[in-house]
C-alpha cells in the first residue's frame, strides 16, 4: 500500500482515553457531511482521531486514518484528489516541518483545509503556519474533544444558532412510566426556566402525549416523518400543538389507521429541525428495539432510562446501559430514574442493589401513587398542576435542574411512611 497505509482498528490495542473528556464535547455541534483524511506518525495521535470519527456528532463525515506523516500524504495525494480536510501529524522540528509542507502545497487542492498536529510548542511556528494557510496547529497529545472542537470551528458557521439539546426518554420495560416521566419533566423544564421545550411523541401507533396534555391536533408527528424531505422550521411550526406558554407537542396520531415501518434515519430531519427552534427537545421513545430507536438513542444528547425495581427491569436496563456505552463511547452515562417504588406486597430489589450492577446512581426515586398520577392523566394535566406539593413534583424539579445543567445529581430522598400516608389519605378524600 506504500507509505500511506490504512490503520486497522481491530489490530490495535484498546484506545487510550487518558486525554478524553466527555464534558468537553457537550457543546460540539454535529459536523456536516465532509471528507477527512488523516496521516499520523504515532498511534497516540491516530487513536483519538479515529475515535472522533466514530462519534455520533461526526456520523455524516467520511473519515480515513492512514499511517505516515507529511511525506505519506504527499505521495498519496499526488495521484488522488484531496478531501475537505487533511489532518497531519509531524514530529519534525519547525524548519523541517515548513520544508515538508512546501511539497504538500504542490499536490493539495486550494479548497482543502489542513490541520497540523506537531510536537513542538513554538509560537513562531504557529504564526508561520497560519501565514502559510494552515487552518490550525495543535501540539500533541490531543484528545477527541480537541479534534472535534477544531473541526467544528472550521466547518460550522460561526453565526449559527446554538442547537437545542435532545433528551431521549426510554423505559427499561413496557409500562414503567417512561412517557409519564418524560411529559412531567418536559413540563417542569418549560415552567421552571421559562425555556421553550418541544415534546416529540415517537410512539406513533400508541402514543399518549396528546391525552396527557389534553390535545387533539389534526396533524402531528406522522406528517413530519412521512414528509421528511420537506421538513423545515415553517412546516414544524405548523405541526406543533401548544400545550403551555413554553411547551409544544408533536403528537402521535389518535387513530390506528396505518402501520409504521421506519428507516434508520426516519426521525433525523425532524429532530434536527426541532433542535434549531427550541433549547430542549424531549424524545418520548416507545419500548421497542429496532434500527430507528437505536439510531435515535445513539444520537441523543442525553438519555434517561426509567425502570421499576424488579429483575426483568434490571436485566433490560443493564443491556441498555451496555449497548449505549458501545454506541456512545464519548458521552456521559445515561441517567436512571427508579419509578413505581413501594407497591404494596410486591417484592422489590432495593435501589442500591438495582443501581450497583448498572454503575449508575438514580437521580430520582418515585413511589407508586396510582391515585395521584391517574387523576392527573384523566384530567389532561401534569402532576404539578394538580398537586404542586406532591413528593414526585420535587423529584421532577430536581431532575429538571440536572438535565439542563443547572444543578448536580444528588442522592434521592426516600419518601417516608408518614409522608406516603399523608398523600394516600389526601388522594382518598379527593
Instruction: Give the contacts of 229 (CB within 8 A, at least 6 positions apart).
Output: 269
pLDDT digits 0-9 by tens, 177-225:
999 999 999 999 999 999 999 999 999 999 999 999 999 888 899 999 9
Give the integer Cα–Cα distance in Å for 271 and 59.
15
- H/E stretch holding 323 reads helix 311-327
Fold for the domain defined by 165-429 = Rossmann fold (3.40.50)
Give the integer Cα–Cα distance in Å for 408 and 383.
23
Res 231 pLDDT > 70:
yes
pLDDT given for residue 430 in this prediction:
46
pLDDT given for residue 111 in this prediction:
85
pLDDT given for residue 418 in this prediction:
41
User: In whole angstroms, how far apart are CA 23 and each of 73, 144, 282?
Assistant: 33, 11, 21
User: In whole angstroms, how far apart are CA 183 and each of 88, 213, 267?
Assistant: 47, 9, 19
Q: Is the peptide bond before 141 cis (omega within 30 degrees of 0)?
A: yes
Average pLDDT, the chain: 88
Instruction: Give the contacts of 137 (CB within 8 A, at least 6 positions apart).
Output: 115, 116, 117, 118, 125, 126, 129, 130
In this predicted structure, which of 25-34, 88-97, 203-212 has the lowest mean pLDDT?
25-34
Give the integer Cα–Cα distance in Å for 412 and 365.
6
Do the beta carbons of residue 4 and residue 37 sit within 8 Å? no
Average pLDDT, integer, range 404-424: 58
pLDDT digits 0-9 by tens, 44-92:
999 999 999 999 899 889 999 999 999 999 999 988 888 999 999 999 9
Give the integer Cα–Cα distance in Å for 144 and 58.
11
pLDDT digits 0-9 by tens, 293-349:
999 999 999 999 999 999 999 999 999 999 999 999 889 999 999 999 999 999 999
pLDDT digits 0-9 by tens, 247-276:
999 999 988 888 899 999 999 999 999 998
User: In whole angstroms, how far apart are CA 160 and each of 29, 35, 315?
Assistant: 10, 21, 42
- Which among 240, 304, 314 has a CA at the least distance from the CA of 274? 240
Do the beta carbons of residue 393 and residue 387 sit within 8 Å? yes
| All CATH 3.40.50.2300 domain ranges in the chain, comma separated | 5-155
- What is 5-155's CATH number? 3.40.50.2300
Partners of 169 in beta bridges = 284, 304
pLDDT given for residue 2 in this prediction:
37
| All CATH 3.40.50.300 domain ranges in the chain, comma separated | 165-429
Instruction: Give the contacts of 169 (CB within 8 A, at least 6 positions apart).
Output: 178, 179, 181, 182, 185, 282, 283, 284, 285, 303, 304, 306
Res 423 pLDDT > 50:
no
Which cell goes with 306?
Answer: 426509567
Ramachandran bin of 223, using left for φ above 0, alpha for ψ from -120 to 50, beta for the remaining angles = alpha
Do the beta carbons of residue 52 and residue 148 sit within 8 Å? yes
Which cell goes with 378?
Answer: 384523566
User: In whole angstroms, how far apart are CA 37 and each of 45, 141, 427?
Assistant: 13, 19, 64
In this prediction the pTM is 0.80
Amino acid at each position: 500500500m506504500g507509505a500511506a497505509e490504512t490503520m486497522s482498528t481491530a489490530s490495535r490495542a484498546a484506545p487510550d482515553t487518558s486525554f478524553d473528556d466527555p464534558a468537553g464535547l457537550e457543546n460540539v455541534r454535529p459536523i456536516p457531511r465532509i471528507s477527512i483524511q488523516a496521516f499520523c506518525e504515532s498511534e497516540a495521535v491516530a487513536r483519538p482521531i479515529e475515535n472522533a470519527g466514530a462519534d455520533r456528532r461526526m456520523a455524516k463525515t467520511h473519515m480515513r486514518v492512514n499511517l505516515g506523516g507529511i511525506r505519506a500524504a504527499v505521495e498519496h495525494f499526488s495521484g488522488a484528489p484531496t478531501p475537505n480536510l487533511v489532518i497531519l501529524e509531524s514530529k519534525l522540528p519547525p524548519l523541517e516541518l515548513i520544508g515538508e509542507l512546501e511539497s504538500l502545497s504542490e499536490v493539495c487542492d486550494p479548497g482543502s483545509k489542513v490541520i497540523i498536529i506537531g510536537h513542538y510548542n513554538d509560537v513562531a511556528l504557529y504564526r508561520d503556519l497560519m501565514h502559510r494557510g494552515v487552518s490550525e496547529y495543535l501540539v500533541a497529545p490531543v484528545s477527541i474533544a480537541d479534534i472535534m472542537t477544531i473541526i467544528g470551528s472550521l466547518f460550522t458557521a460561526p453565526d449559527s444558532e446554538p442547537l437545542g439539546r435532545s433528551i431521549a426518554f426510554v423505559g427499561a420495560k413496557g409500562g414503567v412510566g417512561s412517557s409519564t416521566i418524560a411529559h412531567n419533566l418536559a413540563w417542569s423544564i418549560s415552567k421552571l426556566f421559562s425555556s421553550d421545550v418541544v415534546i416529540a411523541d415517537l410512539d406513533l401507533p400508541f402514543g399518549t402525549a396528546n391525552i396527557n396534555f389534553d390535545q387533539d391536533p389534526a396533524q402531528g408527528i406522522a406528517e413530519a416523518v412521512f414528509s421528511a424531505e420537506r421538513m423545515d422550521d415553517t412546516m414544524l411550526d405548523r405541526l406543533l400543538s401548544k400545550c403551555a406558554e413554553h411547551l409544544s407537542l408533536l403528537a402521535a396520531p389518535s387513530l390506528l389507521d396505518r402501520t409504521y415501518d421506519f428507516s434508520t434515519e426516519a426521525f433525523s430531519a425532524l429532530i434536527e429541525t426541532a433542535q434549531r427552534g427550541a433549547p430542549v427537545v424531549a424524545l418520548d421513545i416507545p419500548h421497542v428495539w429496532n434500527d430507528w430507536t437505536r439510531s435515535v438513542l445513539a444520537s441523543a444528547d442525553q438519555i434517561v432510562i426509567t425502570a421499576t425495581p424488579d429483575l426483568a427491569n434490571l436485566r433490560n436496563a443493564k443491556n441498555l446501559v451496555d449497548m449505549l456505552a458501545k454506541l456512545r463511547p464519548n458521552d456521559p452515562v445515561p441517567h436512571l430514574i427508579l419509578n413505581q417504588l413501594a407497591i404494596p406486597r410486591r417484592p422489590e430489589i432495593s435501589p442500591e442493589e438495582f443501581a450497583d450492577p448498572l454503575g449508575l446512581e438514580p437521580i430520582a426515586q418515585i413511589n407508586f401513587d396510582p391515585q395521584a398520577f391517574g387523576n392527573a392523566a384523566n384530567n389532561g394535566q401534569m402532576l404539578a398542576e394538580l398537586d404542586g406539593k406532591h413528593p414526585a413534583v420535587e423529584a421532577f424539579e430536581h431532575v429538571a435542574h440536572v438535565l439542563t445543567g443547572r444543578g448536580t445529581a444528588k442522592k434521592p430522598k426516600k419518601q417516608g411512611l408518614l409522608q406516603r400516608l399523608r398523600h394516600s389519605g389526601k388522594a382518598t378524600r379527593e
